[in-house]
Amino acid sequence: MSGKILRDGAIIDPNASQRLTSATGKPTVTVLDYGSGNVRSAVRALERAGAEVILSAKPDDVLNADGLLVPGVGAFETVMRELKSVDGIRMIGRRVAGGRPVLGICVGLQVMFEAGVEHGTEAEGLGEWPGKVELLPAAVVPHMGWNTVTAPAGSKLFAGVENERFYFVHSYGVQHWDFDVIQPRMAAPLVTWSEHGAPFVAAVENGPLCATQFHPEKSGDAGAHLLRNWVDGLRRPASGGGE
C-alpha cells in the first residue's frame, strides 16, 4: 500500500489499485471516502482496534478490503446523494451480497433502511432493511450525549459491553422494526435498542452487515471494545499447512 501516511500506517490513496493486504497480518478496513465530514477519528479508532486502515472510494479498495466502514453525518438525502456520486450504493450492495463485512455508523446506519423523512421530504435509502427513518418524538432534539442500550442475547458487537453507555448525536431514527425471515435457514437480525422520546434502533447485526446509530469512535472505552469486536471478526482463518 502506498500514499499519504495519516497515522500508524493509515493512508489516503483514492487511486490505489492493488488488493488490500497487510504485511503485519492485520485485517484491512477501508473507510468509504465520499465526503462525509471528519472521518479521521474513525480511522484512528479502527487502527487502535487492530486494523490496517485506508480512506478511499476506489472500487478495488472498497471491494477487496476485509471490512468496509460507511460513515455518515448530516442529512439522509445528502448522504445518499454523496454515496451515489462515488458509486457507493453499488459497492456496498456488492459487498453485502457477497458476504463481505460492512459496518455503518450514524447516518451510515440510517441509509441502510428503505427511506428517510426529513423536513417533510422522503428520500430513498439502500433498502437493506425495511423501515423508515423519522424525527424522534422527543421534547429536545438532537439526541446528543451518552445513553444506554439494550442489546439482544447473542450479540457479537456488544460482547463485553452490553451494559455500557454510548455516544449519540442525531435527531432522526428508526422507531419500528418489522423484518420477515423468508428463508428457513436465515437467522433473524439482532437488533439493539435505545430510547429518546421513544424507543429507536441503536444497532443492527445482520450477517455481514452491521450498523450503529451511535458513534463508537467517540464512545470511549466501550466504543473501542465494540470496534475491536468487529475487527476481530474480520480476521481470516489461518490457512492449513503448519504455520
Report the catalytic residues: 106, 215, 217
CB atoms within 10 A of CB 140: 10
CA torsion 45→46→50→51, rounded to 10°? Answer: -150
Angstrom distances, CA of residue 136 to CA of 118, 139, 219: 11, 9, 21
Question: Could you identify the residue written with the cell 500500500?
Answer: 1
Say which residue the cell 490457512 belongs to. Answer: 239
Grid coordinates representing 233?
A: 471478526
φ, ψ for residue 192, nearest 5 deg: -105, 140
Q: What residues pair up with 121 in beta bridges, in sequence order?
A: 118
Is beta strand 172-174 parallel, antiparallel or unpaired with respect to 129-135?
antiparallel
CA atoms lying within 13 Å on the CB side of residue 14: 6
H helices within the chain, ranges in order?
40-48, 59-64, 76-85, 88-97, 107-110, 220-232
